């Protein structure tokens, strides 16, 4: 098979592993810098150009779209979909997962456990929003933030109000969520491929850090999921419409609650913690499912 991977940094662990896994199984994988692509938006001719040349037709595309280039990355991915190239994750699913508010709404619609989450536009409604969220401590998140950036823990209602008003004065959209104290600074990431949980790890934040992201100094270890946690991870992936994703959960007193569904999960932490060849499983999934024109949501996004 001839596979394209949309990625800006070919040297990242996840991208190197996917390329190695594809080539080990006899496939050709080209890493394409998303921002260097440009497109011909014409009827019956959805061409993509790269570094001055028209790209060949691929059998499949692996979108590893950075959060900062989501808009343009999804435009390029939709062009691949218009060509009939099989996407590991479809543009519609990635778009849903990148919109924190939309993703929370979809998960809530499907009855998936979430932290108490509130959202408002007018800073005058801050007091009401704080009451809905259950008072401090509260987690305040930028809708556009990723990897723990744009996330603030407010210990008191007064500090929460100050942070909310500061964000709103800058005209940015935020979510306010209850702080799951009993999680103890740890969360769970479940890797879902093709509707099955293939690996799971527990991530623990660095000392004094409530965020458990590994690149912020956190640590990871293999963990056994409960049947309920496994079910929540699978249902979350289905709600987003993602074939491959990382589902981040917290263990609360009322069961697992989902914090985020990541459409481009990093592979280094989970492969090192579990010893499982996640990259190989992703390529195997593509081998089984890649068919021309199989994108379900093309034309509906």
195 and 245 both lie in a single domain: yes
In angstroms, rounded to a whole number, what is the distance separating the alpha carbons of residues 35 and 182?
A: 42
Contact status, residue 87 vs residue 61, Cβ threshold 8 Å: yes
Tens of pLDDT along 217-237? 567 789 999 999 999 999 999
Dihedral sign for Cα 69, 64, 204, 114, please: positive
149 assigned to some structural domain: yes
pLDDT score recorded for residue 293: 61
Which of the listed residues 179, 199, 230 is the one where a domain comes to its end?
179
75 falls within a domain: yes
Does 147 map to a domain?
A: yes
In a domain, 289, yes or no: no
Global pTM reads: 0.86
Residue 126's domain is classified under what CATH number?
A: 3.30.1490.20
- Judged against a pLDDT cut of 90, whether residue 109 lies above it is answered with yes
Choose the weakest-confidence range: 122-126, 150-154, 209-213, 286-290: 209-213
Question: What are 214's two structure tokens?
Answer: 């590994």
* 6 and 77 fall within a common domain: yes
Residue 297 lies in a domain: no
Please determine, for residue 282, whether its predicted confidence score (pLDDT) is greater than 80: yes
Inside any domain, residue 111: no
With helix as H, strand as E and coil as C, how does the chain read? Answer: CEEEEECCCCCCHHHHHHHHHHHHCCCEEEEECHHHEEECCCCCCCCEEECCEECCCCCEEEECCCHHHHHHHHHHHHHHHHCCCEECCCHHHHHHHHCHHHHHHHHHHCCCCCCCEECCCCHHHHHHHHHHHCCCCEEEEECCCCCCCCEEEECCHHHHHHHHHHHHHCCCCEEEEECCHHHCCEEEEEEEECCEEEEEEEEECCCCCCCCCHHHCCEEEECCCCHHHHHHHHHHHHHHCCCEEEEEEEEECCEEEEEEEECCCCCHHHHHHHCCCHHHHHHHHHHHHCCCCCCCCCCCC
What distance in Å separates the CA atoms of residue 205 and residue 184, rounded to the nearest whole number? 9
pLDDT score, position 141: 82
Same domain, 13 and 62: yes
Q: Are strands 86-87 and 60-63 parallel, antiparallel or unpaired?
A: parallel
Q: In this structure, what are the phi and psi dihedrals at residue 118, rounded to the nearest 5 degrees?
A: -125, 160
Number of separate domains in the chain: 3
| Domain assignment of residue 218, given as a range | 182-262
Kindly report the CATH number assigned to the domain that includes residue 219: 3.30.470.20
Do the beta carbons of residue 213 and residue 185 sit within 8 Å? no
Residue 40 within a domain: yes
Domain end call among 179, 214, 232: 179
The answer to whether residues 170 and 202 belong to one domain is no
pLDDT single digits (tens) 176-205: 888 888 887 789 999 999 999 999 999 886
| Tens-place pLDDT, residues 33-43 | 999 999 988 77
68 and 13 part of one domain: yes
Compute the distance between CA of residue 155 and CA of residue 160 in angstroms, rounded to an integer: 7
Please identify, among 48, 65, 95, the residue that sits at the C-terminal boundary of a domain.
95
Shared-domain flag, residues 40 and 79: yes
Confidence of residue 134 (pLDDT cuts 50, 70, 90): confident
Does 83 map to a domain?
yes
174, 164 in Cβ contact below 8 A?
Answer: yes
Within this chain, do residues 205 and 173 fall inside the same structural domain, yes or no? no
> Do 188 and 174 lie in a common domain?
no
Same domain? For 7 and 90 the reply is: yes
- Same domain for 244 and 175: no
Same structural domain, 200 and 187: yes
Of residues 89, 114, 148, 129, the one with CA closest to residue 256? 114
Same structural domain, 161 and 234: no
CATH number, domain of 51, equals 3.40.50.20
Give residue 180's Cα distance to chain centre.
21
């Amino acid at each position: 098979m001839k596979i394209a991977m949309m990625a800006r940094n070919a040297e990242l662990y996840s991208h190197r592993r996917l390329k190695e896994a594809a080539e080990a199984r006899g496939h050709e994988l080209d890493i394409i810098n998303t921002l260097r692509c440009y497109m011909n938006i014409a009827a019956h001719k959805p061409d993509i150009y790269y570094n001055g040349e028209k790209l060949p037709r691929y059998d499949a595309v692996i979108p590893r779209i950075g959060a900062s280039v989501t808009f343009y990355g999804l435009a390029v991915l939709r062009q691949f979909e218009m060509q009939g190239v099989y996407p590991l994750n479809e543009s519609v699913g990635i778009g849903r997962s990148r919109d924190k508010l939309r993703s929370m709404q979809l998960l809530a619609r499907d009855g998936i456990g979430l932290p108490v989450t509130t959202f408002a536009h007018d800073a005058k409604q801050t007091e009401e929003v704080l009451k809905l969220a259950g008072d401090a401590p509260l987690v305040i998140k930028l809708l556009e933030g990723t990897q723990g950036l744009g996330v603030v823990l407010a210990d008191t209602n007064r500090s929460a109000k100050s942070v909310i008003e500061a964000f709103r004065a800058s005209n940015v959209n935020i979510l306010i969520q209850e702080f799951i104290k009993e999680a103890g600074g740890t969360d769970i990431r479940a890797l879902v491929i093709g509707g099955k949980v293939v690996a799971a790890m527990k991530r623990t934040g660095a000392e004094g850090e409530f965020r458990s992201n590994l690149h912020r100094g956190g640590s990871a270890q293999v963990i056994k999921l409960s049947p309920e946690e496994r079910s929540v991870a699978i249902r979350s992936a289905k709600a987003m419409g993602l074939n491959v994703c990382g589902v981040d959960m917290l263990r609360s007193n009322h069961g697992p609650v989902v914090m985020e569904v990541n459409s481009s999960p990093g592979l280094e932490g989970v492969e090192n913690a579990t010893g499982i060849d996640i990259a190989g499983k992703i390529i195997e999934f593509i081998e089984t499912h890649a068919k021309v024109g199989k994108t379900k949501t093309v034309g509906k996004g």
